[in-house]
Amino acid sequence: MIEIGKASRAAVLAMCGLFFWACNPAAADVRIEGQVQAGGAANSTVTLWAASAGEPRQLAQVKSGSDGRFLLLSQETPGTDVSLYLVAKGGQAKSNGDNLAIALLTVLGNTPPAKVVINEMTTVASAWTNAQFLDGTALKGYALGLRVAAGNVPNFVDLETGGYGVMIQDGFNSTQTPTMANFATLSSVLAGCTTRVRADACDSLFAAATGRDGNTPTDTLKAALSIARDPGGSSRSASLRCWTHSIQCPRASICAQRRSCLI
């Protein structure tokens, strides 16, 4: 009788386990809570991608809420050679209606924080550190390169707050060189378009970001990438060239010829 009781209890526990599994699916392997902060972009399409040597894989996609907040869930477990990243496209910033020119990026790396921000500063930080691996919104490359690039993003920006990262706030980058100021200036230039501070803000940005190949960007991410890859483009103003040079080369000892660049 004792053995039968044990067997019965085991059967009951097994059935409870089955019912629990059926009613409570496995927790998401990736859960990212965040906010699109481009003027509080509402109804922005936020996509979670997994980058590797091949074509990036879409893991999840949602629309941001009225305050730009979103929650992304994915049942896929990223491999150790994968770099996760977020792209936010479109949306309504402030009261200016839909803005299709909004395209923002946050590269998270293999182990993202539970809460993240997507804004103009994360876009500049992610675009400059990952420029060689980006083709529009597609990020791909060899594992070590992606890992190193993603690891440099937090030096520029805090992924959880969207504010300044640790390294860019040190004495050299914040007060002894214009790196921090220039980083903020480039982010503000993008923000002028995302929030449409004036009717022609995006057109002005895209014109200034047109490269020597004659290709004119059509959204803020493409504009950032164009400037990052070709800071001396034919249509760049002298000040814009200086801003981008200082971000690419924050150590004056390495590029002393750029010390004359002033904001």
Question: DSSP states of 4-36 as a string?
Answer: HHHHHHHHHHHHHHHHHHHHSPPPPSEEEEEEE
pLDDT at 142: 96
What CATH number did the domain enclosing 117 receive?
Answer: 2.60.40.1120
Q: Please tell me the predicted confidence (pLDDT) of residue 59.
A: 97
**Residues 86 and 147 placed together within one structural domain of the fold:** yes
Whether residue 14 has pLDDT greater than 90: no
Is residue 211 in a domain?
yes
Mean pLDDT in residue range 218-246:
71
Q: Which residue, of 152, 167, 182, is where some domain finishes?
A: 167
Highest mean pLDDT among 13-22, 72-81, 112-121: 112-121
pLDDT of residue 116: 98
Question: Does 151 lie in the same domain as 85?
Answer: yes
pLDDT one-digit tens code per residue, 186-215: 999 999 999 988 889 999 999 999 988 889
- Domain interval for residue 193: 169-258
Task: Give the count of domains, the chain.
Answer: 2
User: What tens digit of pLDDT does each residue of 45-79 get?
Assistant: 999 999 999 999 999 999 999 999 999 999 988 88
Residue 22, in any domain of the structure: no
Residue 247 has pLDDT above 60, yes or no: no
Give the DSSP letter of residue 92: B
pTM over 0.85: no
Residue 207 covered by a domain: yes
Which of 5 and 159 is assigned the larger pLDDT? Answer: 159
- Which pLDDT score, from 0 to 100, does residue 21 have? 34
- Tell me which of 221 and 255 has the higher pLDDT: 221
What pLDDT is stored for residue 155 in this prediction? 95
- The pLDDT score that the predictor gives to residue 136 is 93
pLDDT at 5: 52
CA angle 143, 186, 241 (to 5 degrees): 90
Q: Give the residue-averaged pLDDT of 28-53.
A: 90
The overall average pLDDT reported for the chain is 81
- Burial of residue 128, with CB atoms counted within 10 A of its CB: 0-12 exposed, 13-18 middle, 19 or more buried: buried
How high is the pLDDT of residue 240?
54
Distance CA 71, CA 98 (A): 21
